[in-house]
Amino acid sequence: MSENEKENEISLLLVPLEDLVVFPNMNVTLTVDVGDEERVFLVPKHDDGYAKVGTVAEVTDRIRLPGGGRAVALNGLHRGIAGAAATDAQGRLFIDVEERPDEESSVGARRELEREYRAVVEEILALRGDDGRIAAFVRSITEPGALADTSGYSPDLTFEQKVQLLETVDVGERLELALELQRERLALMQVRKRIQDDVESGVEKQQREYILRRQLESIRKELGEDEASVVEEYRTKIAEAEMPESVREQAEKELSRLERMGDQTPEATVIRNYLDWLLAVPWNKRSEERLDPVHTREVLDADHAGLDDVKDRIVEYIAVAKLRKERGIAEDKRSGAILTLIGPPGTGKTSIGESIARATGREFVRMSLGGIRDEAEIRGHRRTYIGALPGRLVRALRDAGTMNPVIMLDEVDKVGADWRGDPSSALLEVLDPAQNHSFRDHYLDVELDLSEVVFIATGNMAETIPGPLLDRMEVIRFDGYTTDEKVAIARDYLWPRQRERNGLREDEVSIADEAIELVVTEYTREAGVRQLERELGTVLRKTATKIASEQAEAPVEVDDAAVRDALGRQKVFRETAERTAVPGVATGLAATATGGDVLFIEATSHKDGDKLVLTGQLGDVMKESAQIAISAVRALATQLGIDEDSFENRAFHVHVPAGAIPKDGPSAGITMATAIASLLTDRPVKHTVGMTGEITLQGRVLPIGGLKQKVLAAHAAGITDVIIPERNRADLADIPEKVKDDVAFHPVMSIDEVLGLALEEKSVQSSVSV
């Protein structure tokens, strides 16, 4: 111990404070007897433990209490560190105390702490609603140690925190500790304040809503629109809706729940929405059908060229309905009409739905199913979910306003499936005539009779429609239009529509059939007519521009020269003759999602190898067809007039151009075999010949699908001879008469018949090494 510390050490009477901390500059009155002592040492005590640091306090007053007790008023002076202890003759405990008054100097860093401490304390006082006196007291304190000790007045600090503050003798450290404690206190008070504000605002909102609702009830009662009148309004609507018995019972059950619980509960809104949807379904409303097969056919013919299969089926449906009605035969709920139109884009599948509705006198609703992945889109959501709605079918019936509309399920082949469900599985019940008379929507949870609805589904490819769903459909295939049909469609429908869209009158512009045919053959290659309409729109825009800018005077006749001037260079070429002029190239026919197409298959070979190379992004089935073709030609080499030695030590390469487009299927088998035989015999394939058919190892030709699409593509490409499998002969009945007049069909059973028809009689000098 240093000399200075010994000088500052005095012996003072110990006054223990049970769970109480007195700081310097703090006044306190204690019921203790200190005798004649002028100064005492106050030390905080908890259980049997004493703090290391206490407060030296002077006695400012002695008080005699009623009953003979004594009390003293004390004023804290400064800190003291407890030392050795001793008792006097009276048994009182005295402590050697090292006095530690606070330093009076205030460095710059400490002044910054003082400012921040004052700011935090003022925020706390503002949250507590201080009237300004305590804030003024804090501002009046100039010494940093005394400022830090003001934290001792805080009722939110624990006994341990106050003892820790008392034992921090260094003024700078004490100020930092006090600032940290006050920051924690401020954060806690801010959280409490936010909670209190939220609770108060919630209570105020509830009180305000309660008052407003009571006022609203009074207003409604004055207007005759109180809760009882709302229930009566629903009861009247239910009675007028002519619902089926089971549906009416469900509606009245929900109405009774609404009446019991009142209109102010959250559940009441859910019930009212449900009742509104039940009432939105046109339970007993039906369109008056015009059961006239002749009129129906006239309307369909006026709206669409071709498509005889679809028109015949609709006329049959109307004729059957007419006979059943005339003869008093009861309706069969299991005999609904569900047609599925499969074909390339642009062939009129979607637009014919509106024509069918117009022809039958029914309402028309279109539902686009392309890309939907949620089963609830079809069946609806259960009412337990927030924001639940009925499925698209219920909404379609509401929009139609009748129970017997024509509903078009567009792009049914593009329905997706994921973790939310499989919409195509939900469609199984909708599109099954044996089940859809009792369809149950998840939201309404009552049976809906869909047997009177005429469902028309459309799609581009039947292969992507799930098997069980396809099994429930009556499929009608759209295989595209012939050139003559396209010209007729363009003349009667597309040209007038585009003329009107481009602001031209009928007497201002006209076009000859020859010019339309030029657009069809040289600027489009498609099964439908969408691209054709776009090209005609381009021609009309160019014409409208000339008329508007006074470069031409009406009437304008659009001829071949005007078409070429508007559309530019030719986009589609008939290259069959050029492509098949050399041995090893054969013309095949393919069916795609966008219609039929012509496929050129090229074959070449070279020595020093014994493998087959296949290119052109071919699928597995097509690769196997190429291998079968090689094997079949090799096995029948003698019969086909091919030298068997030409296969020895020779590698073959088969390529199908347009390598960016994936290709697959077995129907190019005879085309590949013909290309290889042409290569080996050095005899080119006739440029007028196209072919399609699957080949076996024995050289037999098997039937294929999509014949009509392929034949239409061959006809558009200028092919006049088409080789087809014998077992596809019956499919020729679907080919338009105009095509039959221009194309000769050759049904075959074996590859030798194919080669006899396809190859030229004489060989040519070829640059291909054989």
- E strands, 233-378, in order: 338-342, 364-368
Residues 6+ positions from 129 with CB-CB distance below 8 Å: none
Joined tokens for residue 156: 């939110």
Joined tokens for residue 210: 């309660």
Residues 6+ positions from 368 with CB-CB distance below 8 Å: 410, 411
| Crossing angle of the two packed helices 266-280 and 392-400, in degrees rounded to 10 | 60
- E strands, 494-608, in order: 509-511, 556-558, 585-592, 595-607
Distance CA 485, CA 736 (A): 10
Buried residues in 385-394 as b, exposed as e (16+ CB within 10 A) = eeebbbbbbb
Residues 6+ positions from 75 with CB-CB distance below 8 Å: 25, 26, 27, 57, 58, 60
Distance CA 436, CA 450 (A): 5
Contact 542, 361 (CB under 8 A): no
Among 287, 355, 451, 667, the one annotated catalytic? 667
Joined tokens for residue 43: 């030390």
The residue among 717, 732, 716, 632 whose CA lies nearest residue 673 is 632
Alpha helices for 327-366 (secondary structure H)? 349-360
* Omega before residue 555 within 30° of 0, cis: yes
Joined tokens for residue 290: 């015009």
Q: Which amino acid is at 755?
A: L
95, with CB counted inside 10 A (0-12, 13-18, 19+), is: buried
Q: Is 769 a catalytic residue?
A: no
Instruction: Classify residue 22 by its DSSP letter.
Output: -
Distance CA 683, CA 768 (A): 12
**Dihedral over Cα of 655, 657, 663, 668: its sign:** negative
Q: Is 287 a catalytic residue?
A: no
SS3 14: strand
Contact 642, 633 (CB under 8 A): yes
Joined tokens for residue 202: 């919630």
Joined tokens for residue 442: 């998840």
Among 151, 287, 710, 750, the one annotated catalytic? 710
Distance CA 468, CA 462 (A): 12
Catalytic site positions = 667, 710
